[in-house]
A and B are shown apart, each in its own frame.
Chain A
Amino acid sequence: AQSVTQLDSQVPVFEEAPVELRCNYSSSVSVYLFWYVQYPNQGLQLLLKYLSGSTLVKGINGFEAEFNKSQTSFHLRKPSVHISDTAEYFCAVSSNTGNQFYFGTGTSLTVIP
């Protein structure tokens, strides 16, 4: 079975500062990794995903993440955040044996003007 740990439940950051949201996973098989964003009163929207290939993945809205197999991590980064990035961010893992996702508990990013 797989599981995901998002180490920070809340991350406040000033506008235009860099941010990193941490995600660690556990799995005994090959994994696929995802980051989703949820704005207030909306559904989850895909930010980026790692299926194979380059371990540095670029997504929408200037976000990127790096798959680190030895550290079992998939941290999300953005070099300069905007007010509009204030949202809940979810990390998820699935395996090559099925399409079921295992979600983390989410990180609430608050961008301070």
Chain B
Amino acid sequence: DAGVIQSPRHEVTEMGQEVTLRCKPISGHDYLFWYRQTMMRGLELLIYFNNNVPIDDSGMPEDRFSAKMPNASFSTLKIQPSEPRDSAVYFCASSTWDTKTQYFGPGTRLTVT
């Protein structure tokens, strides 16, 4: 069974550009989480969904960040406009209520120049 799939794996963009990160959760999982990891701040939860509905977006840094989950098999995290301080590794994870375990994707390394 395929794990969590993220694309792209690497993204380099210039300040001010729009960036879209994509995630496909494990089939059958009803929770989806977006995290950001940096050396300075560690692993931060940005937002999570349950049954495609955003439950907690209090970790989203500012209005430049938005996330959607149009269906059970796809989610996007968008940054518009991007800034150099957004450079980080962004992880997507999925889980089910009964297993409680989050399974992580390989991450997207974003560099904003």
A residues apposed to B, CB below 8 Å: 32, 34, 36, 42-46, 49, 51, 90, 92, 94, 99-101, 103, 105-106
Shortest distance between the CB of B35 and any CB in chain A (Å): 9
Shortest distance between the CB of B18 and any CB in chain A (Å): 25
User: Which residue of chain B lies nearest to A102 when distances are taken between CB atoms in the complex?
Assistant: B45
Cβ A51 vs Cβ B100 within 8 A: yes
Q: Which residues of A contact B93 (CB under 8 A)?
A: 44
Complex Cα spacing A49 to B100, Å: 9
Q: Is the interface of B mostly helix, strand, loop or mixed?
A: strand
Cβ B45 vs Cβ A32 within 8 A: no
Other-chain contact of B91, A44, A49, A105 (Cβ < 8 Å): A44
Cβ B104 vs Cβ A45 within 8 A: yes
**With contacts A90-B43, A105-B42 known, is A99 near B106, CB below 8 A?**
no
**With contacts A43-B91, A43-B107, A99-B31 known, is A49 near B45, CB below 8 A?**
no
Q: Is the interface of A mostly helix, strand, loop or mixed?
A: strand
- Please name the 9 residue pairs, one residue from A and one from B, whose CB atoms are nearest each other, closest first: A43-B104, A44-B104, A43-B106, A99-B31, A103-B43, A32-B100, A105-B42, A43-B107, A99-B95
Cβ A94 vs Cβ B100 within 8 A: yes
Q: What interface size band does chain B fall in?
A: 20 to 34
Shortest distance between the CB of B47 and any CB in chain A (Å): 11
Cβ B43 vs Cβ A49 within 8 A: no
Contact with A along B84-102 (1 / 0, CB 8 A): 0000000101010100111
Complex Cα spacing A106 to B97, Å: 25
Shortest distance between the CB of B25 and any CB in chain A (Å): 13
Cβ A100 vs Cβ B106 within 8 A: no
